Amino acid sequence: MSEKIFSRASGKKAKANDFVMADIDFAMAHDGTSVLAVRAFREMEEERVWNPEKIVIPFDHLTPANTDTTAALQHDIRGWIKDQGIKNFYDIGEGICHQLLPENGFALPGKLVVGADSHSCTYGAFGAFGTGVGATDMAEIFASGKLWFKVPESIKITAEGKFNKGIYAKDLTLKIIGTLGIAGATYKAAEFYGSTIESLSISGRMTLCNMAIEMGAKTGIVPPDSTTFDFLKDIAVEDYEPVYADEDAAYSKEYDFDTNELEPQIAIPHQVDNVSDISDIKPTKLDQAFIGTCTNGRLEDLEVAASILKGEKVAIRTIVVPASRNVLIEAIRKGTIETLLEAGVTIGSPGCGPCLGGHMGVIGKGEVCISTANRNFKGRMGTGGYIYLASPATAAASALTGEITDPREI
Ligand SMILES: CC(C)[C@H](C(=O)O)[C@@H](O)C(=O)O
Ligand code: SF4
C-alpha cells in the first residue's frame, strides 16, 4: 500500500527503501509545532505558502492558552494564518488535530497526509499514508508542498477472532505493542488485516493506527472498506482513489494475533511496551483517571465509560476530555455528558487536555493516573507521576473503585 501511495505522490515507481520526493496531499501543524514551523518558514525567507487550501492548523495542545507566553505565541500564529489565507484553521475548543482531520474529511484513502505531530499515523485508519515530521520539515512543506521520504518496508499484522465482552480496540493495540516492542516496527509501515480489524469501527481503527508510532512504525494502515467509505461519504474534501496491497506483496515480517481470548491490557509505567494482562497486575491504588486524547476521546469511548459509571460515583478525580467539539455535542445530545457529570466526572474543553502534562489535570509527584492516552513516559503528565495506559472501559471501572480494575468484573 505504501509503495503505491508513494508512487502516485512522487510520479515514479517507488519501491521500499527508495528515496523519493513526494507531493503532499494535506499538511497539518498544531498550536505547538506551528510556532516552530512558522519560525523556520520565516528564517527560510519564504513569503507565501504553496497552497493554503492544503494546510490544516488545529489549536489543541495548550488550549485555551495556559500562560501569557502561550497566548502570545498563539496570537502570532493566528495572524500568520490569516495573512496566508489558510481557511482550515480550527481554534481553541474545536478538538484534537488527529480527530479534526478525519472528521473534516482530510484523511482519505490513498492520500499522503503529513502532520507536524508524531501521532499523524492515525490517518492510516482510512487507508491514507499518514505520518509525522519535525517542524522544520513542515516549514519546507509549507513552502514547496513537497518533502523527501525513504519509502518504508511493510510488515503485515493479522488479527483474527472476536473480542469478548469488555475487550476493545485499545486492548488489541496494547497487546500488539507489548508483543513487538517500542522498536519492533521502526521505520516500517504496519498494514493491518484479519477479521478482528475488519470488524473494528472507524473509532477503533483510529485507536489502533494512532499508536503505530509507539512501536516505531512510520505509519499504520488499515485497507479501506465499506466502513471507511460510509464514514467518508458526505465529508471527503476531494476525490480519492483507494489503494490495496497486491496478493503477492512482500512484507519484511508477518505477525498473527488471536483475539478470541484477549484480556484487558495495561501498559505499566514508564514504557508503552511494558504491557500486561490485567489479571497479572498487582493491586494498584490510583489518584486520577483520565479518559480522552486522540487515542480514546471519541463518542464511542465516552459512551463505554458512561455505561460503566451510570448511576454510580467515582472514587477518584476523573477527567473526561472529548476529542472534539462534535464529540462533545453528540455526547451532550445523547445524555452521555449528563451521566458522566452525575457520576462526579470533571469535563474538560475539547483538545489534548492533560495528555502531555501541560494543563487541565497534571499529576503531582508520586501520584498515579490511569489514562486512555498513548504514552506513559516518565514525567509526561507531571514530574514524578506514574501513568498506566488502558481502554476507556478499564479506566472507568478503575475510576469507580480507585484501583486498577477489570471492567469485566464491574
Ligand atoms: C507536541 C507534539 C510535538 C507531540 C507529538 O509530536 O507527539 C505531542 O502531540 C505528543 O503526543 O507527545
Ligand atoms: S492528545 Fe496527546 S498524543 Fe494526541 S496529539 Fe494531543 S498531546 Fe499528542
Over residues 388-399, the mean pLDDT reads 99
CA of 390 to the centre of ligand 1 (A): 19
The band of 258, judged by pLDDT with boundaries at 50, 70 and 90, is very high
Report DSSP state, residue 51. -
Number of residues in the chain: 410
Segments making up each domain of the chain, as ranges: 2-235+251-256, 267-409
Q: Which residues are annotated as a binding site for [4Fe-4S] cluster?
A: 294, 352, 355
CA of 408 to the centre of ligand 2 (A): 28
Pocket probe for ligand 2: among 295, 321, 327, 356, the residue whose CB has the most ligand atoms within 8 Å is: 356
Over residues 41-53, the mean pLDDT reads 98
The response to whether residue 33 sits with its C-beta less than 6 Å from ligand 1 reads yes
The band of 397, judged by pLDDT with boundaries at 50, 70 and 90, is very high
Pocket probe for ligand 1: among 35, 119, 321, the residue whose CB has the most ligand atoms within 8 Å is: 119
Q: In this predicted structure, what is the pLDDT of residue 287?
A: 98
The response to whether residue 32 sits with its C-beta less than 6 Å from ligand 1 reads yes
The band of 341, judged by pLDDT with boundaries at 50, 70 and 90, is very high
Spatial neighbors of 224 by CB under 8 A, at least 6 apart, are 109, 126, 127, 242
CA of 212 to the centre of ligand 2 (A): 14
The response to whether residue 398 sits with its C-beta less than 6 Å from ligand 1 reads no
Over residues 327-353, the mean pLDDT reads 98
Alpha-carbon distances, residue 53 vs 22, 39, 120, 273 (angstroms): 18, 21, 19, 38
Name the residue type at position 23: D
E strand or H helix at 8: helix 2-10
Over residues 363-386, the mean pLDDT reads 98
What is the residue with the minimal CA distance to atom 4 of ligand 2? 294
Domain 267-409 coded CATH 3.30.420.40 = no
Report DSSP state, residue 40. H
The band of 302, judged by pLDDT with boundaries at 50, 70 and 90, is very high
Q: Which residues are annotated as a binding site?
A: 294, 352, 355
Beta strands, E only, 252-303: 253-258, 265-267, 275-277, 288-292
What is the residue with the minimal CA distance to atom 7 of ligand 1? 118
Give the ligand whose atoms come closest to the C-alpha of residue 295. Answer: 2
Over residues 13-17, the mean pLDDT reads 98
Question: What cell was used for 314?
Answer: 467515582
Q: In this predicted structure, what is the pLDDT of residue 17?
A: 98
Q: In this predicted structure, what is the pLDDT of residue 11?
A: 98
Give the ligand whose atoms come closest to the C-alpha of residue 206. Answer: 2
Beta strands, E only, 201-281: 219-221, 253-258, 265-267, 275-277
The band of 250, judged by pLDDT with boundaries at 50, 70 and 90, is very high
ipTM of the complex: 0.99
CA of 160 to the centre of ligand 1 (A): 31
Over residues 256-279, the mean pLDDT reads 98
CA of 369 to the centre of ligand 2 (A): 16
Q: In this predicted structure, what is the pLDDT of residue 221?
A: 98
Beta strands, E only, 138-264: 146-150, 153-160, 188-193, 219-221, 253-258
CA of 275 to the centre of ligand 2 (A): 20
Pocket probe for ligand 1: among 138, 355, 356, 372, the residue whose CB has the most ligand atoms within 8 Å is: 356
Q: In this predicted structure, what is the pLDDT of residue 78?
A: 98
Annotation: CATH topology of 2-235+251-256? Aconitase; domain 3 (3.30.499)
The response to whether residue 61 sits with its C-beta less than 6 Å from ligand 1 reads yes
Are domains 2-235+251-256 and 267-409 of this chain identical in fold?
yes
What is the residue with the minimal CA distance to atom 11 of ligand 1? 356
Across the chain, mean pLDDT equals 98
The band of 406, judged by pLDDT with boundaries at 50, 70 and 90, is very high
How far apart (Å, rounded) are the C-alpha atoms in residues 222 and 209?
8
The response to whether residue 376 sits with its C-beta less than 6 Å from ligand 1 reads no
The band of 360, judged by pLDDT with boundaries at 50, 70 and 90, is very high
Q: Using an 8 Å Cβ cutoff, are 275 and 146 in contact?
A: no
Q: What is the CB < 6 Å shell around ligand 2?
A: 61, 96, 98, 117, 119, 293-294, 352, 355-356, 373-374
Q: Kindly give the number of the ligand 2 atom that is closest to the alpha carbon of 117.
A: 5
CA of 375 to the centre of ligand 1 (A): 10
What is the residue with the minimal CA distance to atom 4 of ligand 1? 117
The response to whether residue 35 sits with its C-beta less than 6 Å from ligand 1 reads no
CA of 18 to the centre of ligand 2 (A): 31
Q: In this predicted model, what pLDDT tens digit does every residue of 84-105 receive, in sequence order?
A: 999 999 999 999 999 999 999 9
Alpha-carbon distances, residue 279 vs 212, 269, 273, 282, 404 (angstroms): 25, 17, 17, 8, 10
Alpha-carbon distances, residue 110 vs 4, 102, 113, 153, 222 (angstroms): 8, 14, 9, 17, 11
Q: In this predicted structure, what is the pLDDT of residue 170?
A: 99
β partners of residue 55:
27
Q: In this predicted structure, what is the pLDDT of residue 8?
A: 98
The response to whether residue 118 sits with its C-beta less than 6 Å from ligand 1 reads yes
